[in-house]
């Protein structure tokens, strides 16, 4: 099982919209994530930085292949008005480096 953590950057004043859109996540996107081997996916908000921090557990996943999926690309474009994005509408993100795991050394 692979663990991934990363942060993404919200535009100012968009947290409520971000939360609402995730509460209404598209069923086809949820199905795609689960069928791609993602078993856990949680997102947390940090008020000080206006960033969201995501944590996933998954089977070996080719994240590039997931980003090439039309459903994911449509979601990125849908979210681009409230998040900082790259030119392809993918969210700007920074991977987080693991420094501690209760169950095993990192």
**Six token digits for residue 55:** 């944590």
* 22 classed as catalytic: yes
Q: Rounded to an integer, what distance in angstroms lies between the CA atom of residue 46 and that of residue 3?
A: 20
Name the active-site residue from 2, 22, 77, 92. Answer: 22
- The full DSSP string for 39-84 is EEEEEEEETTTTEEEEEEEESS--HHHHHTSHHHHHHHHHHTTTB-
Q: Is 58 helix (H, G, I), strand (E, B) or coil?
A: strand
User: Which residues participate in catalysis according to the annotation?
Assistant: 22
């Amino acid at each position: 099982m692979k663990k991934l953590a990363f942060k993404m950057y919200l535009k100012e004043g968009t947290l409520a919209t971000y939360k609402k859109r995730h509460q209404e996540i598209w069923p086809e996107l949820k199905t795609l994530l689960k069928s791609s081997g993602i078993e856990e996916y949680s997102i947390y908000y940090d008020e000080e930085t206006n960033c969201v921090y995501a944590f996933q557990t998954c089977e070996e996943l080719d994240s590039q292949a997931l980003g090439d999926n039309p459903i994911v690309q449509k979601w990125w474009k849908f979210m681009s008005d409230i998040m900082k994005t790259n030119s392809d509408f993918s969210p700007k993100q920074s991977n987080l480096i693991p420094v501690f795991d209760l169950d095993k050394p990192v």
